[in-house]
Amino acid sequence: MQSPKRSNNEVNRRLHSVAAGQAGFFTAQQAKKIGFSESSHTYHVRAGHWTREARGTYRLTSFPAVLRPELVRWHLWSMDRMGRAQGVYSHSTALGLYVTPEATTADVPATLEMTVPKGFRRSATPEGLTLHYGELRESDIAARKGYRLTTPLRTILDLAAADTMPREELSKALMGILERGLITPKQVEGARIPEVAQMQLEALLGWKKG
């Protein structure tokens, strides 16, 4: 028979493994699936092993705090019943992560933008989170520790098509992405760009797709 100590070590190891891929964060559902009873969650918070980050979301205190904890928090919120995250940060949020990746929560807009599948459903969307519904290909998605965001090119295409950001502001931000070498005219040439987005790009950057 497995000893309680050995069993506890195993579930702790499994939780650490899951949290390691999520910047130290995990959900109550994940902890329960690993082997932590619901009644033990409060104990681990009081004991200082876990920090409660939001309803149903925790962080192992052995992991360092991150600059943008809300990015991981809502990434986990978007998980389906199988534990697969559905949300991908996009539009102005993704743009900010590329242009000013060192920014902290206090330095960025309070509202986050996230793209989710068309069939995504929740009883309520958290305050400060704007959802866009659409289908993304894997090639449109980039991974970060604890969350996902649209690639630089997809981000530009989404913003150009939406036409909600002042042109001067968008142009300045896009030039910042270009200066960092995150996209090239060649990538745009090979992309399948909707007509509206193409017209916006041509106006903003002077690129003429052949």
Comparing 200 with 73, the larger pLDDT belongs to: 73
> How much of the chain, in percent, has pLDDT values that exceed 70?
83
Model pLDDT, residue 1: 36
pLDDT digits (tens, 9 = 90+) for 10-67: 999 999 999 999 999 999 999 999 999 999 999 999 999 999 998 899 999 999 988 8
Model pLDDT, residue 203: 63
Comparing 26 with 202, the larger pLDDT belongs to: 26
**Looking at the predicted structure, is the pLDDT value of residue 151 above 70?**
yes
**Looking at the predicted structure, is the pLDDT value of residue 194 above 60?**
no
Model pLDDT, residue 192: 61
**Looking at the predicted structure, is the pLDDT value of residue 202 above 70?**
no
**Looking at the predicted structure, is the pLDDT value of residue 94 above 80?**
yes
3 state SS for the chain: CCCHHHHHHHHHHHHHHHHHCCCCEEEHHHHHHHCCCHHHHHHHHHCCCEEEEECCEEEECCCCCCCCHHHHHHHHHCECCCCCECCEECHHHHHHHHHCCCCCHHHCCCCEEEEECCCCCCCCCCCCEEEEECCCCHHHEEEECCEEEECHHHHHHHHHHHCCCCHHHHHHHHHHHHHCCCCCHHHHHCCCCCHHHHHHHHHHHCCCCC
Model pLDDT, residue 168: 78
